[in-house]
Structure 1
Amino acid sequence: MADKLPPTQWTQRADLAQLVGALGADNLRWVGGAVRDTLLGLAVKDIDAATLLHPEKVMARLKEAGIKVVPTGLDHGTVTAVLDGGPVEVTTLRKDVATDGRRATVAFADNWQDDAARRDFTINALYAHPETLEISDYFGGLDDLEARRVRFIGDAQERIREDHLRILRYYRFQARFGSTLDPEGEDACAALAPMLKGLSRERVAMDLLSLLGLPDPLGTVQRMFDRGVLPVILPEVTAEGLERLAALIGTERRQDVAPDPVRRLAAMLPADAKNAEQVAARLRLSNAIRRRLARLANRQRRPGDPRVLAYREGTEVARDLLLLADEPVAPLDGWEIPRFPLRGGEIVARGVDAGPEVARILQAVENRWLAEGFPGEDRVAVLLDEELDDRDR
């Protein structure tokens, strides 16, 4: 693995050069995901910087240079520089003073290695000089990156006790980057899994859905299940649920459908709408996701005609149900749900008293309209005539 960042579009941005000029190249290092992903040849989404300067000085220098700055996390030494190419979080070097597994009390530091030591994984603790692009690696992160190994910095259990969410982060990073397992990390996650119960449900849900949204999380989710980690946060999932997840991932690949974490969560859960709603409530998922999970739990029957299903359930849920049943979703590509061209008032105008009888006729015509493949208004008028004739006989 190279010991310098290759020149890329983001490292040559003019607005980043302005940021470096304002703070001083020796006071600043690119750190974290931007460095890691560049070395892996992946697209860089967010850029983070670490600095020797304290937040007040960072803000003063940026304002003097005409760069808009927002104090997004002063308690943790973080400000955000608002640049033309996208925001950059600038965080003063820190070291942990105390932690309780959910939040840390930090003090500012003046040593790059102290800052690196408080980070989670070696591959996230790589620092790049903004001008020379030389990488500082204090804990073997370059070797781990080359081996595609996700490894905690220092003692794995100690890192997890500092922040319990690191268990889920470990598995998410393992699913995204890993191929070589780290036995110490695996054992630590399994041993300390009960600590996940103390985390906010929103944080658990965010990491869980991020994991499920990756291209191929199956092996990782299986290990979480086998090591007793998944049952702590999703006790409803059984071995059969993982088999359904495997089948769904296979179907998505065959049909070239993008991963969807909610659909995959639904596959893992039992076909029980009440159970799905309880899981969604426990994880503090949005009302929209809660309703979607409940509708996807009604998957016992075959989905039938894809377009009729989409008409009744909406396109998103219909696609999900088709994929969960390993049925093709192509019939829905580019297809818009038509409007049923008949209203109750038209039936009343034909002499039927308003009330349940109108609703019955309306539903009967609609069912025939669906069975015939959504014909036009002329055919619907014929269908209505036939229903009214049958009523009058």
Structure 2
Amino acid sequence: MSAPLPERLPDAEWRAWPGLLALCEALGADQGEARFVGGAVRDALLGIAVKDIDIATVHLPEEVVRRVKAAGLRAVPTGIVHGTITAILDHRPIEITTLRRDVSTDGRRATVAFGTDWRDDAARRDFTMNALYADPASGALSDYFDGRADLLARRVRFIGDPNQRIAEDHLRILRYFRFTARFGTLDRDTPDYRACVAHATSLMALSRERVADEMLKLLGLPDPADVIAAMVGDGVLASVLPEIDAHGVAALRALIAAEQATGIAPAGLRRLAALLPPDGALADQVGARLRLSNKARQRLRAAATPTSAATPHALAYALGEDSAVDHILLGRAFSPDCAPALIGWQAPRLPLSGGDLIAMGLTAGPLVARTLQALERAWIDRGFPAPDETREMARQMVGAALRSSQ
């Protein structure tokens, strides 16, 4: 049975951040004009460390800027059109957003109007657990849609009609599964779950970047395997990631087990690679479709491309730390217990150059390049020996190269 949740915001380290209460007072919190909202309230109730703080206020953005500056803080208009100002508090960003209500939506974006009604602001949020507000000073909660009860029951529930909420923003389908994997209990027989399945094809209307961002957040959670399995089994991902099937889910479970056994942190890209067939060209196509960065596409492609090396460190030297760890944990090279030794490993540099080989007697040209390549291979195979040993290896190779050229 779950432990009872506090009935008000508990004391926590973040609530004592220098200047935070003064900022809230500058926004009129003592008169009910500003409250903590969303993730900070939810996570504090669950006893989870809070990293990001959001404040909701009745004041219009221009007034928020004036009050923040009057409090001696920098105000950054990060999303002023949508009512969001970021106050910089001791190098920490605090997002302050004017109360809003939706005027129109098209499944991808919303047109909003500013307001002063807290319930209207809560009603436009996605899940009940994200629509909790708290008085900064007293910690008293404002809960308009039974979010605290849902949080206690580990139940992810849309505010209002789930079909309507998904029609307003299709990304809420993926957010539903991410929040279920992080906070909830998977239940495939609820109106919320059924609505996500019924409207899954609407994911095609989203930008690939938004799909990728949400999927990588989901995959980066401690253990999203059951949720991913349900999404695959019920066809939720078919319209955006048709390459993922039951074999990929099994590979994901094996990867998560390997990560947990070795104590290596989850990586969303590594887990996406597990879900895909081990085909470098296909992985690159998926990366391009999701509009991943060049670096992320390269890592995804590398994880799916067969390679070989004499030792784990040789693999890391060839591919880089991340890709080598990916290969090992995905069961495509060596044993998983080799992976921890690569975390934080700095690949050494070959301590000699072509100029050193020329100084030893080789004539500049193709022979220098071939000898240097052979030296690097031997240096890697021997476990990256020290410069003196490497220099002796080079002398022997240069001598052999000179004799063979005579």
Tell me how far apart the structure 2 counterparts of residues 252 and 224 of structure 1 sit (CA, whole Å).
Answer: 22
1:370 is aligned, of 380, 389, 393, to 380
Partner of residue 297, structure 1: 304
Shift of 1:350: 5.5
TM-score normalised by length of structure 2: 0.90
* Distance verdict in 2 for CA 1:95–1:294, change over 3 Å: same
**Unpaired stretches in structure 2, ≥5 consecutive residues:** none
1:361 is aligned, of 361, 371, 382, to 371
Partner of residue 237, structure 1: 244
Tell me how far apart the structure 2 counterparts of residues 349 and 15 of structure 1 sit (CA, whole Å).
Answer: 64
2:22 is aligned, of 1, 11, 18, to 18
Shift of 1:168: 0.9
Q: Deviations over 1:190-211 (max 9, x none)?
A: 1111111111111111111111
Retained in 2: the 8 A contact 1:296–1:321?
A: yes
Shift of 1:84: 2.4
Retained in 2: the 8 A contact 1:361–1:387?
A: no
Retained in 1: the 8 A contact 2:134–2:141?
A: yes
Tell me how far apart the structure 2 counterparts of residues 228 and 2 of structure 1 sit (CA, whole Å).
Answer: 38
- Tell whether 2:163 aligns with 1:157: yes
Retained in 2: the 8 A contact 1:201–1:282?
A: yes
Aligned 1:87-166 pairs, distance under 5 A: 87-166=93-172
Identity over aligned pairs, percent: 53
Tell me how far apart the structure 1 counterparts of residues 289 and 277 of structure 2 sit (CA, whole Å).
Answer: 16
- Tell whether 2:194 aligns with 1:187: yes
What is the aligned residue count? 392
Aligned 1:210-225 pairs, distance under 5 A: 210-225=217-232
Partner of residue 400, structure 2: 387
Shift of 1:5: 0.8
Q: Deviations over 1:78-99 (max 9, x none)?
A: 2222222622222121111110
Q: Deviations over 1:223-257 (max 9, x none)?
A: 11111112222111122111111111111111110
- Tell whether 2:8 aligns with 1:35: no
- What is the root-mean-square deviation of aligned Cα atoms in Å? 2.2
Q: Name the aligned partner's letter for residue 23 of structure 1.
A: L
Q: Name the aligned partner's letter for residue 180 of structure 2.
A: Q
Tell me how far apart the structure 1 counterparts of residues 40 and 131 of structure 2 sit (CA, whole Å).
Answer: 11
Retained in 2: the 8 A contact 1:93–1:111?
A: yes
- Structure 1 counterpart SS, 2:19: helix
Tell me how far apart the structure 2 counterparts of residues 59 and 367 of structure 1 sit (CA, whole Å).
Answer: 60
TM-score normalised by length of structure 1: 0.92
Tell me how far apart the structure 2 counterparts of residues 202 and 383 of structure 1 sit (CA, whole Å).
Answer: 54
Tell me how far apart the structure 2 counterparts of residues 121 and 335 of structure 1 sit (CA, whole Å).
Answer: 42
* Distance verdict in 2 for CA 1:173–1:383, change over 3 Å: farther
Tell me how far apart the structure 2 counterparts of residues 154 and 278 of structure 1 sit (CA, whole Å).
Answer: 38
Tell me how far apart the structure 2 counterparts of residues 330 and 12 of structure 1 sit (CA, whole Å).
Answer: 37
Retained in 1: the 8 A contact 2:360–2:395?
A: no
**Unpaired stretches in structure 1, ≥5 consecutive residues:** none
Shift of 1:304: 4.1
* Distance verdict in 2 for CA 1:111–1:385, change over 3 Å: closer
Q: Name the aligned partner's letter for residue 221 of structure 1.
A: I
After superposing the two structures, state which structure 1 stretch, 157-166 or 52-61, moved more.
Answer: 52-61
Tell me how far apart the structure 1 counterparts of residues 66 and 357 of structure 2 sit (CA, whole Å).
Answer: 73
Retained in 2: the 8 A contact 1:147–1:180?
A: no
* Distance verdict in 2 for CA 1:129–1:369, change over 3 Å: closer
